């Protein structure tokens, strides 16, 4: 991926639209792919681009689900890349906002709409 200089080719793009801060996505991990010959995670990151409203991404260790890490703020135009090993160790969630103000000045953000493009 970006830090290793490895070229990644994505074959699928998923689009999710969230109408407001109360729409969220529960705790989960995406595909956990293993390279059978190596017994190690494949190098197949998931890349996500956020458009519109600012939202928070929750992250917690699978081994300690009661202690989430501080959430990451996903602003308009932000890119979040999760290496495959991330899926083996962590759960993540798009957290509900419960009326927290958004700081983004774009039109979509003013209405609380967020679009997420996920590349696999």
The answer as to whether 4 is a domain residue is: no
The answer as to whether 23 is a domain residue is: yes
Our count of domains for the chain comes to 1
The answer as to whether 48 is a domain residue is: yes
Q: Which residue in 42, 35, 34, 44 sits closest to 12, CA to CA?
A: 44
Range of the domain at 41: 13-119
Q: Which residue has the higher pLDDT, 101 or 3?
A: 3
Read off the pLDDT of residues 66-82 as tens digits, 9 standing for 90 and up.
999 999 999 999 999 99
Read off the pLDDT of residues 3-55 as tens digits, 9 standing for 90 and up.
667 788 888 999 999 998 888 999 999 876 666 677 766 667 899 999 999 99
pLDDT of 83: 87
The answer as to whether 7 is a domain residue is: no
In degrees rounded to 5, what are phi and psi of residue 89? -105, -25
pTM: 0.78
Looking at the DSSP bridge assignments, the partners of residue 73 are 56
CATH number of 115's domain: 2.60.120.590
Pairing of β 90-94 and β 25-28: antiparallel
C-alpha 25/C-alpha 107 separation (Å) is 23
C-alpha 48/C-alpha 78 separation (Å) is 8
The answer as to whether 101 is a domain residue is: yes
């Amino acid at each position: 991926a970006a830090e290793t200089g490895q070229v990644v080719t994505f074959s699928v793009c998923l689009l999710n639209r969230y109408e407001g801060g109360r729409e969220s996505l529960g705790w989960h991990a995406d595909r956990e792919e293993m390279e059978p010959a190596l017994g190690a995670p494949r190098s197949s990151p998931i890349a996500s681009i956020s458009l519109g409203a600012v939202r928070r991404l929750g992250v917690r260790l699978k081994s300690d689900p009661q202690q989430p890490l501080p959430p990451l703020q996903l602003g308009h135009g932000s890119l979040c890349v999760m290496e495959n090993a991330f899926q083996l160790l962590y759960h993540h969630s798009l957290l509900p906002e419960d009326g927290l103000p958004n700081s983004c000045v774009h039109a979509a953000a003013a209405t609380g709409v967020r679009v997420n493009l996920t590349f696999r």
